[in-house]
Homo-oligomer: A and B are copies of this chain.
Amino acid sequence: MTSGDAAAIERRPMEVSLDDVIAAGERLRELVAHTPLLSSDAIDEAASGRRVLLKCENLQRTGSFKVRGALNALLQMSPDELRQGVMTASSGNFGLGLAWASKLLGARASIVMPSDAGTLKRRAAESLGATVHLCAPTLADRERVKAKVARSTKAVYVSPHDDARVIAGQGTVAVEMVDEASAPASVLVPVGGGGLLAGIAIALKGLWPGVRVVGVQPTGAGDAARSKAAGRLIAEDAPQSVARGLLVNLGVKTWPIVDALVDDVVVVDDAEIVDAMRLIWESAKLVVEPSAAVTVAALASPELRGRLGDGAAIAVLSGGNVDLDDLPWKQLQPSAVGTA
C-alpha cells in the first residue's frame, strides 16, 4: 500500500453504525449460536488475579465468529445476487463461514484459497458445498485467480473484513456480551483485518460507553498497533506469526473505525501466544487456535499489565479451527504451564 492510498483511507468516514450492528443481531439471532461466556480460575490467576470472561466464538458454527459477518452480508443480498453466487479469498475461517452461510441460503460459494492453507481447511469448505480455487500463496496470484473466478462465475465478491455488512455482523459478538454480562473494565479482541474489532468497537461505544476496547495483534503482524500509535495507517508488508488468521492488514473500511473508536492496540509475541493457547486448552478445556489466544496472552503479559489496567476483562476467543496433528507447542519450545 502506498502512502497516497493510506492518506485516502484515513479521510474516509465510518460506514457502520450501532443501528447496523443491532439490526444484524436481529437478523442472525436464530441462525448462529449465542456463544457462552466461560471462565477458568487458572486464567484469572494468570491475568494477575482479575476476573476474565472468555467469549467463546470457537464454539460458533464453523468454529469461528466469521460466520456472523458472512451470513449478515448474504442476508442483505438480493435474490438475483444470491443466484449469481458469492466468492471470497480466504485461507481460513471466513471461507468456512461464507461456505456455511451460502449452504444455508442455497447460494453457490467459490473460495480462492492459497495452496499452503492445508487440506483440512480445504476439505471443510468443500464438505459445506463450496468450490475451492487454489492460488499460489502470493498477493499477485491471489488477485489473478480472483479475477478469473469472478469472470467465470459472475459471483459477488465478499471481503472477509472490509465490508460494512461483514463488520456489522461481527459486531453482534458484542451485543451478546451486553445481553449477558455486566460491563467489565475492558474487552480484548484479536485483530487481523479488523472486522471483528471494528464491529465490536461500534457496538460497545454505544452500549457500554465506559468500557475500554483493546485490540491485540501478534508482534510480527502489528499494523494496527503501529497505526494507532502513529495516528495514521501503516501497513505491514510481510506479516509473520503462528497466529495465521491474523496475517492481514486493516482495510479501508476498518481503519477509520479502529482509529476513531478503539482505545488501544497492543502486541504479544509468538511464544506468549502459544503459552496462552496451551493454558486455554489445559485449564479452560477449550480448543482454540493461536489467533484466538492473543487476548489471553495480552492479559497474562507482565509488560502489558500497566497498559491494560486492572479490573474484569472479557477476552474474545475468535476461533478454534486447528489441525490436531500439527499443534504449535511441538514446533516452538515447550513451556511449563500448570494444569488443573
Complex: how many Å from CA A120 to CA B281? 14
Min Cβ gap A117→B in Å is 13
Min Cβ gap A307→B in Å is 29
Interface string of A300-340 (1 = CB under 8 A from B): 00000000000000000000110011010100001000111
Question: Which residues of B are found within 8 Å of A62, using beta-carbon distances?
Answer: 340
Interface string of A116-151 (1 = CB under 8 A from B): 000010011001000000000000000000000000
Question: Which residues of B are found within 8 Å of A286, using beta-carbon distances?
Answer: 285-287
Cross-chain contact of A324 among B281, B284, B338 (Cβ < 8 A): B281
Complex: how many Å from CA A338 to CA B62? 12
Cross-chain contact of A120 among B124, B324, B334, B339 (Cβ < 8 A): B339
A66 at the interface (CB under 8 A from B): no
A176 at the interface (CB under 8 A from B): no
Complex: how many Å from CA A36 to CA B39? 12
**Is the CB–CB distance between B59 and A278 below 8 Å?**
no
Min Cβ gap A121→B in Å is 8
A41 at the interface (CB under 8 A from B): yes
Complex: how many Å from CA A278 to CA B120? 14
Query: For residues 267 through 287 of chain A, which have their beta carbon under 8 Å from a beta carbon of chain B?
Result: 278, 281-287
Question: Which residues of B are found within 8 Å of A285, using beta-carbon distances?
Answer: 58-59, 63, 286-288, 320
How many residues of A sit at the interface, in one of the four size bands? 20 to 34
Cross-chain contact of A36 among B36, B320, B325 (Cβ < 8 A): B36
Question: Which residues of B are found within 8 Å of A31, using beta-carbon distances?
Answer: none
**Is the CB–CB distance between B287 and A324 below 8 Å?**
no
Given contacts A124-B338, A281-B287, A340-B124, contact A38 B63 (CB under 8 A): no
A96 at the interface (CB under 8 A from B): yes
Min Cβ gap A273→B in Å is 16
Complex: how many Å from CA A46 to CA B300? 38
Closest to A123 in B: B338
Query: For residues 107 through 121 of chain A, which have their beta carbon under 8 Å from a beta carbon of chain B?
Result: 120
A-B contact pairs, 14 of them (CB 8 A): A58-B285, A59-B284, A59-B285, A62-B340, A96-B340, A123-B338, A124-B339, A124-B340, A278-B324, A282-B287, A282-B324, A285-B287, A286-B287, A324-B329
7 more CB-based (< 8 A) A-B contacts, given A124-B339, A325-B334: A62-B340, A63-B285, A63-B340, A96-B340, A285-B286, A287-B287, A324-B327
